Structure 1
Amino acid sequence: MAPILIIDPGHGGNDPGGGSNQYWSEKDLNLQISLYQLQRYQELGVPVAITRTKDQTLTPEERTRLVIDSGADYCHSNHINAGGGDGAEVIHSIYSDGKMAKSIGEELRKAGQNLRNIYTRTLPDNSNQDYYFMIRDTGKVETNIIEYGFADSKGDDIQQLRENWRTLAEAVVKAFCQFTGYEYQSPSGPSNKNVGSKPVNVPPAKQPSTRSSVGQTLFLPDDANSWRVYPLGVSPVKGNEKGFLRPAKFGGLEYRIEGTTQANVYIIETADFGKVQIYAHPSTGAKIVLGNKNSNNQPAYAGHRVESKVNDLRYYNRPSWSDTHMVNTIDKGYGFPEIVDKVKVGKSYQYKVKNSKGSVYYLTANPSYVRVI
């Protein structure tokens, strides 16, 4: 029998989630809430499934595939927010009427949580597609992303989540049963107010080193149309972005990592936005290349070999794109043994390289045409 509902505890494994603080790691609190709801739905006779039951890494593709393959009609995607706000948020698809999201939000409000927002969001370059992959890529499943509160709230969210997380999790169970027509009964046993109960088995979020990635290079893939970056000093979560990078427009982008603020969140310096934070978990397609960790703080590509990925790639005797300064071409698999530097030529970049005799030339640094080895 296919479940009517699948629960998705957000993040997990090597992705702790941005809604973490000194009291919990988001991935663990998401799982705790979800496992509680799983048990409650089973008690109430609601056919239910879950995407993970332990601290497990799931790529976006694996996560959405589990949801689709479950055969469920509905999905709770459980999260903890960040960004300095206060209150719960429920996000639904632009193709949903939002009635279930409103029901969930109303029950959270009745349970004592502030209701901050119920909303939809679209991709910045395509108003016909939902912004969040859990909603966009789960097919016909009606997915609601439920943000139970803010990990960095200046209000009472931290206290709410520490002391009343069961109450908030139960509110969602109640809303779902009432919306779908399943008989709802309050849980038996201890009071649903969780007196004296704080999240258990939720260790404090580890603070990552800000030095471990310094000197490495971050590569953003050439098939990514947009990539959010965030100001320093704020949580790198939706709504806090300073702007968007456009890797696909430039055949991919690369940046020197100047530090980290949390796991998979790096400090880089961009031409348009200055020094910012960027989220680059491996599941996003971003890659990090080990750099030279020397006293001169050389960029990661310095000293590496560069090879052409195409035939007839031109190279020049000076930083130029002009036919006048072209020396010759190289074919796929051929290249130069040493990159000396990277220079801006017009609106694009070239690598300054040396051949085996020490002669200096210049060729494109666009990752669509060359690769650094």
Structure 2
Amino acid sequence: MAKASDYLIALDDGHGIGTAGKRTPYIKSIGRQIHENEFNEKVTYYLKAELERCGFRTLLSAPTDEDTPLKARTGIANSMGAHALVSNHYNAFDGKFDGPGKDAEGHSLHIYFNDKNDRRLAESIAKYLRQGTKQVYRGIIEQNLHMTREFNGPAVLIENGFMDNEREALLMINEDFQRETAREQAKGICDFFGVTYVASSGGGNVVTPPKKEVKGVSTDKGDAGKRLESIYKGAEGLDFYSRPTFNDAYRAGKLKYGYGFPTIIRKLSVEGAYMYEVKNSRGHVYYVTAAPEYVKVEGGGGSTGSGASTSTRSSSGGPVAIGEITITGVSNSAIIQDRPDRMNSKNISTISKGSTIPVTGSVKGVNSSSGYWEVIHNGKRAYITGEFGRYKAY
């Protein structure tokens, strides 16, 4: 039986909450329209919890409420070495309710042309979706879609129903349907990778994504532009999140002692505590506690508080790691280069197969179809060919 932790699954929740047109017609029985992302987001986070309970690692390709560009979504999934991608959507036909028996209905799974791995993943998921809530099964459809075309691995885009079918539209805000859909998709993903599905034991492991209204309120931009570092020495690391919340469903990764983010955007009041909204070297935004016993601020004379522990990293504005890569795909060792161009760079060192090295992100560079990992070598930026590293977030 395969080991689930060997696999990273990229999860995509489709469009942002405010994307134009991505909503149902007005529904008289509830007095409003339903945004597509109200369903997509919750199913994605329930699926995240399902997969992590089974042992998989997960990655959110669009972790904010904004409509993340398609290129950015597949870009982060590819750069972090995801082994599969699942994108959840809700379909539409003519944008109006025509009445029972007249509206389009049902779910479908969309893959790229002639991709055997896409099809195998779609078939594995469809097997369980067809066993759930009674819906018309519209089949597996080959289409030229960015998410399935540009991802470097098995990918499927799932249309879970029609927004302009009133019965299916109301399923979008039905929590039982949301959880059932996530569970069925998780079972299919487990089958695809040969992993045993682990059912929920109930009780304390229930995941409830926070409502859209629960957001941080900006209270202080005094530390904007400064650098944040973790001073927490616990072996488990310091959690950071994809949204302004301390809900574990939105945990994006962990910071080791001495590592952090190069740019603070602002300080927020969140759930009775404070968080920093921060940005990494690739421009991705995250949220981390602002408690002075866990983090310190450097640069421009700012600090989260006196007496903060001394970091193992300098405060000179050097590179900040967001994770690490394990060297794979080589016979003995990979070359560490001084620039992202393996044909025109200086080889400054090597790193053995199976070893790990901290990374700040990935870059396209030149002369490599897999791009390059930007790594930290002797405190400075260096580069390793993308295909030779397997990423793990802190």
Q: TM-score, normalised by structure 1?
A: 0.46
Q: TM-score, normalised by structure 2?
A: 0.43
Largest Rg, 1 or 2: 1
